[in-house]
Amino acid sequence: MSKISRKNFFRGLALGTVSLPLVIRSCGGQNIAQDNSSPAIHSGKKYRWKMVTTWPPNFPVLGEGCTLFAKWVKEMSGGRMDIRVYGGGELVPPLEAFDAVRSGAAEAGSGAAYYWAGKDPATQFFASVPFGMNAQQLNAWILRGGGMELWTELYAKYGLVPMLGGNTGVQMGGWFNKEINSLEDLKGLKMRMPGLGGKVLEKAGGTPVLLPGGDLYTGLERGVIDATEWIGPYHDYKMGFHQIAKYYYTPGWHETGTALEFFFNKEKFDMLPPDIKAIMESAALRLNGWMLAEFETQNAIYLKKLLEEEKVEVRSYPDEVLAQLRIHTDEIIEEITQEHPFCKKVYASYDQFRKAATDWAALTEKVYYNSIQI
């Protein structure tokens, strides 16, 4: 650039005859120089994608979230990206969403990563670890603590791109047709419980059963399962579990803040223009915040309904049961990480972050909760 006087330089900035590169500080702290001398240009090409989900059609919060995501992407892209959402069973069975997106039968999917543990055990760590991190801690690990890089590396092996797609917050312990007074009461118990929690239950003598959300009421009513966990009071009330199961337990030791996910066919995703990729990432982050807020709001409302209108009695797992389940959790993780090198790599990152987050929470949230005697 030719030399000009300081006075003329700033006068030129004011008049728009002189421009500076736009400097943006990225989320990672990097300075990115962007030339703003010419406007962004896109071809106007339109994309029509299908999203398959593990959730029943139009399912509260979870299915609604997918519809919101598609709506926001369409709005932000000016209609260039139009995603049609299919509930579980409408296009493919709920638990086949991973393979449908991997094969290209659909471009996008929504679920929880522990559903794919049979394909790769490392997936479970990106959903929930029993007695593990809560929602804010898990979000922090994935977004800023190295988790996303590991998740991306894992899913790339299957031709997929993952994104956070929500969080349930701490869940309830589940609905049972018998009391849980000791470890003996878990033996022979058939309970719907996915992921690492299911393996821990099995270690304790129970039988984990993987069922999609739409099958839980029927399964419990017909005795296919003796107990079920799902999320919390909002869905539990809507799904009518209090009508067919007597005992409602806390806490949700198996899912202390479960991350949900979007996943995209990598080949199709990589072909998208950069602005649409960024729009989808922004919409996913927006939904991640919206979903946790919605769960917190609705669970508070519907817990009151269950207690006051339905007279449900909430029970706590005995301390000895929780203590033994925690021991079994450590045993299961040790077995998995010794057998699978990538699981070991992922859990090392997870556990390092968890320990630091726990130390911080011990000085802040724990002290606060104890002080108000919740």
Q: Which CATH number fits domain 47-167+258-295: 3.40.190.170, 1.20.140.10, 3.40.50.720, 2.40.40.20?
A: 3.40.190.170
Mean pLDDT of 288-302: 98
Query: Rounded to two decimals, what is the model's pTM?
Result: 0.86
pLDDT at res. 207: 95
The percent of residues in the chain predicted with pLDDT above 90, rounded, is 84
**Mapping DSSP to helix (H, G, I), strand (E, B) and coil, where does residue 98 land?**
helix
pLDDT at res. 213: 82
- pLDDT tens, position by position, 328-371: 999 999 999 999 999 999 999 999 999 999 999 999 999 998 89
Domain boundaries, the chain: 47-167+258-295
* DSSP states along 349-365: HHHHHHHHHHHHHHHTH
Contacts of 62 (CB under 8 A, 6+ apart): 53, 55, 110, 166, 213, 260, 291
What's 257's DSSP letter?
S
Closest CA to 279 of 99, 63, 40, 94: 40
pLDDT at residue 186 is higher than 70: yes
